Amino acid sequence: MLGKAGNEVVRSHQQSFAFGDAAGLRSRKFDETVKSNLFLAVVPERDTAVQAVEIGRHAAVEYELSRHLRPHQLMHVSLNAVGAYTHLPEDVVFTVSEAMSAVRAMPFEVSFDRIMSFATGYARPLVLTSAVRSEEMMDLHVQLAKEMWSAGLIFSYNPRFKPHMTLLYDGAMVPERELAEPVRWTVREFVLIHSLVGRSEYEYLGRWPLLG
């Protein structure tokens, strides 16, 4: 156990490459047997996460949206889906961890300068994103998918990958607009997150520093 903050629990612990789109996972019909979601992500620093929540809170008031904002402890930018399971698959966790140890990338800055809703059904996510996609984030997304493919895992790769941070879900559609001040931080690691479905808890099952 590395630590705990709020609802967040932190724990130590195909020839065709363009399939397994993570967006498709989000659009699947709800399955009540799923108790564990695994995915790879980058996580903002605490001050950045708090800043994101405040932006979401102001937008919720302005556009009369749901006040059920994602807490700062759960703020993240998803990179690659691993899978949805009825229970935590220790063998998958082990294989992913082994594969991720081969990843090599330099730290890079993330800058989200836009807020908008994604049109993905009734529960539309309100997100922070950027007018210009981070090439470093895209490269990391691709590299993680390649390592999962090499390890024989089901992998997610999306050529239209748009890095974003979800603030809340609501049926209303918020038009894209520029933020008065971008949300920025330097990504120095990526993590394997275990989302405990229905409990608003994340376990960090692995961390990999970006060292080049």
What's residue 31's pLDDT? Answer: 66
Fold that domain 3-209 belongs to in CATH: Cyclic Phosphodiesterase; Chain: A, (3.90.1140)
Q: Supply the DSSP symbol for 126.
A: E
What's residue 212's pLDDT? Answer: 61
What's residue 95's pLDDT? Answer: 97
Distance CA 53, CA 90 (A): 33
Distance CA 54, CA 39 (A): 25
Q: What is the residue extent of each domain of the chain?
A: 3-209
What H or E segment, with its residue span, contains residue 183?
strand 177-187
Q: What is the pLDDT along the chain (212 residues), one digit of tens a residue?
A: 222 333 333 333 322 233 333 333 333 344 678 889 999 999 999 999 999 999 999 999 999 999 899 999 999 999 999 999 999 999 999 999 999 999 999 999 999 999 999 987 778 999 999 999 999 999 999 999 999 999 999 888 889 999 999 999 999 999 999 999 999 999 999 999 999 988 889 999 999 999 86
What pTM, to 2 d.p., does this model score? 0.84
